[in-house]
Amino acid sequence: MKLPIQRKILREDLKDAPDWISGLIDPINQFMETIYQMANKNIDEVNLTSQIKEVSIIVPSTYPTMDAIKFQSTLKIKATGCMILQVIDRDSFKPVATGNPAWIDNNGVIEISTVTGLTASKTYLIRFRIT
């Protein structure tokens, strides 16, 4: 969808409006500019309902069986998605390819039970995005 051309209201556009309308134009224009900028490919973490959580784990020798990774969700709603943004091998500092994890939202506690593509007895830094 294309953004509209008009981005602000000018006082000249409202010639017959009462004088008090001037007090509304500035806040409306500020709001419109913020929304316009956000909709123009500038959405960031502040604008999304999401949480990024970074955890360091030591993969047990029993892998792929492992204890769940648990952390508190900071979302105000029940989580609907969990994806891995990055996995780093702590020994080599190289990225590791993995698939999306098996997870649940257990009353606001995110429990990640399976992360594929890891190696037993290694330490990883994993960055998750919860939405």
* Domains of the chain, residue spans: 10-48, 49-130
Q: Which CATH class is domain 49-130?
A: mainly beta
Determine the average pLDDT of the residues in 116-121: 94
pTM (2 decimals)? 0.70
pLDDT reported for residue 45: 65
Dist CA 99 CA 84 (whole Å): 8
**Residue 48: helix, strand or coil by DSSP?**
coil
Helices vs strands, H then E, count in the chain = 1, 6
> What pLDDT digit, counting tens, does each position of 45-74 carry?
666 789 999 999 999 999 989 999 999 999
Q: State both tokens at 36.
A: 């316009």
